[in-house]
Amino acid sequence: MAVVKLFGAWLSPYVFRVIWALKLKGIPYEYIEEDLSNKSPLLLQYNPIHKKVPVLVHDGKPICESTVILRYIDEIWPQNPLLPADPYDRAVALFWIKFADDKSPIIAKLYRTEGEEQQVVVKEWLEMLEAMEEHALIGGKKFFGGDEINMVDIAFCMVAHWLGVIEDAAGLKVFEPYKFPRVSSWIQNFKSVPVIKDNLPDTDKIVAYLKRRKEMLLTSKSN
């Protein structure tokens, strides 16, 4: 049987996307934790372009970029499909996955910036939530995938879990549940799914880590 390896980092939402997909499909894999401040030669060999996690290695061949990995997993192991079968519905799903991918990096800026710069980031993030509320989640579905989660739900993991964590770390309140009732419902539903619930990084650990990083950034700025 071909060996599946996953290079990851304990706090990365992009890594968790891949973990969830592998678990939903029941695919055994070997997990290799990377220290992102001291990347292994193997990681650099497998991902020379970006030098990032996640990297999936299947049968010795590396695949990089979480969304590319998810699509590959879905094609190789078709059980529990993560994309709709209908081509149009699939296109709509891919549209929202791309949207989530384009907007997700903004979240890191929430704790890296301050004052006016931070306000710009907050505004962008709110626009993203509005698009989800007004366009992505219409139709009263439990999940983007209908009754079960699919790749779109997985792609929006940043909103479901990491946003709250980063708000804690940055001492900000960006997401007000009453303003985004559909998104709010979706987050509750998503985090109740056993595969998700049982596979989330420790919130306190991330908050502590981000606070330390912010302090380091501020210290280096003032030096």
Partner 1 sequence: MAGKQKHTRTKNQLKMGEVKVLGSWSSPYGLRVQWALGLKSVEYEYIDEDLLNKSQMLLKYNPVHKKIPVLVHNGKPIAESAVILEYIEETWPQPHPLLPKDPYERAMVRFWINFLDNKDKVAPFITFFIGVGEEHKKAVNEAKELLKLYEEQVLGEKKYFGGEEIGMLDLAMGWMAYFGVIEEIVDVKILDAETFPRLHAWIQNFRAHPVIKNNLPDHDRLLQNYTEKRQRFLAYSPHTENA
> Contact positions toward partner 1, by CB under 8 A?
49, 58, 61, 63-65, 67-69, 71-72, 75-76, 87-88, 90-92, 94-95, 98-99, 131, 135
Instruction: Determine the Cα–Cα distance for residues 162 and 178; give it in Å rounded to an integer.
Output: 19
Q: Report, in Å, the least distance between residue 68 CB and partner 1.
A: 5
User: CA-to-CA distance for 82 and 88, rounded, in angstroms?
Assistant: 15
DSSP 140-190: --SBTTBTS--HHHHHTHIIIIIHHHHHHHHT-----GGG-HHHHHHHHHH
Identify the CA nearest to 68 among candidates 163, 200, 76. Answer: 76
* C-beta of 65 vs 168, nearer to partner 1: 65
Task: State the nearest-atom distance from the C-beta of 88 to partner 1, in Å.
Answer: 6
Which residue number, 56 or 165, has a Cβ lying nearer to partner 1? 56
Kindly tell me which of 124 and 167 has the beta carbon lying closer to partner 1.
124
**C-beta of 73 vs 174, nearer to partner 1:** 73
Supply the minimum distance, in Å, between the C-beta of residue 138 and partner 1.
Answer: 11
Q: Position of tokens 């020379």?
A: 48
Compute the distance between CA of residue 185 and CA of residue 191 in angstroms, rounded to an integer. Answer: 10
Kindly report the backbone phi and psi dihedral angles of residue 199, in degrees, each rounded to the nearest multiple of 5, phi listed first: -135, 70
- By beta-carbon proximity to partner 1, the closer residue of 16 and 99 is 99
Inter-residue contact 142 to 189 (CB < 8 Å): yes
The residue (of 12 and 67) whose beta carbon lies closer to partner 1 is 67
Residues 79 and 187: their CA atoms lie apart, in Å, by 25
